[in-house]
Structure 1
């Protein structure tokens, strides 16, 4: 998965985002997160990664609220909660995704 990045280079430069079940949003703007997060979650489902950790940081909580608003509306999300000790606490959200159905794989 790639995401356009116009902060450190030409506007067409992209950043490769590994689909490994952990998405660190520290380097992304909120406007980018709105499209990036749903795309990332769908890519995880396609790879069979149903437990995803989204790192949004602790800060003022604006990014956390945005992430959780996106998750609440996503039909592919089974559940989500703030991470506990050792997993980022309130600086990360743990997401459980619905598996793809056979119809989704076509």
Structure 2
């Protein structure tokens, strides 16, 4: 299987990933965003059963680089996406 190329633009769409892939993916994506001076992210996990949303939020709660996160407004995905603000150093 070929690696998936994820653009570093502040929007991470998780529709093609499994919950077990999220930890490393999100850590790497946040690293890349910080290196690119991107501090405001939108993580699209979808609405579905809520498994991906719960996993994303669990990982964000434990990540010391995260300042705050919340549901996206309705026009940006609503509860199918999470807005994240990273700490500035």
| TM-score category (smaller protein) | over 0.9
Partner of 1:53: 42
SS in 2 for 1:20: coil
Aligned residue pair count: 89
State which structure, 1 or 2, has the greater radius of gyration over its C-alpha atoms.
Answer: 1
Higher relative contact order (CA 8 A, sep 6+): 2
Q: Answer whether contact 1:22 1:55 (CA < 8 A) is retained.
A: yes
TM-score (ref. length: structure 1): 0.81
Partner of 2:9: 20
Pairwise CA RMSD: 0.8
More helix by share: 2
Partner of 1:77: 66
Aligned-pair CA distance for 1:40: 0.4
Structure 1 spans left out of the alignment, 5+ residues: 1-5, 7-12, 102-106
Structure 2 spans left out of the alignment, 5+ residues: none
Aligned-pair CA distance for 1:34: 1.5
Match status 1:30 vs 2:29: no
